Amino acid sequence: MAPTPRRLGQPLLRQQVFSRHAVSISAARAFAEHTLDEWRIADRVEDIQLCISELATNTLVHTASDMADFLVR
């Protein structure tokens, strides 16, 4: 899939793949925090980290154990 063209003032797309291990949940939270810091978005960091934690945990708990890694974008 081709990347969407960047509009003026729009942050660059960031994404990272995480392995299917419990430590990846905190790594995904740190990735989100670092990305938001780069984008100078501070007002929703905790909310977004909570969402990342929930989604990553659900991925690890509710998908087959042989599934591939997960992507945070």
Mean pLDDT of the chain, nearest integer: 84
Convert the pLDDT of each residue in 22-43 to its tens digit. 899 999 999 999 999 988 888 9
Q: How far apart are CA 5 and CA 41, in angstroms?
A: 21
* pLDDT of the residue at 24: 92
* pLDDT of the residue at 60: 87
What residues does each domain of the chain span? 16-72
Q: pTM, whole model, 2 decimals?
A: 0.77
* pLDDT of the residue at 65: 73
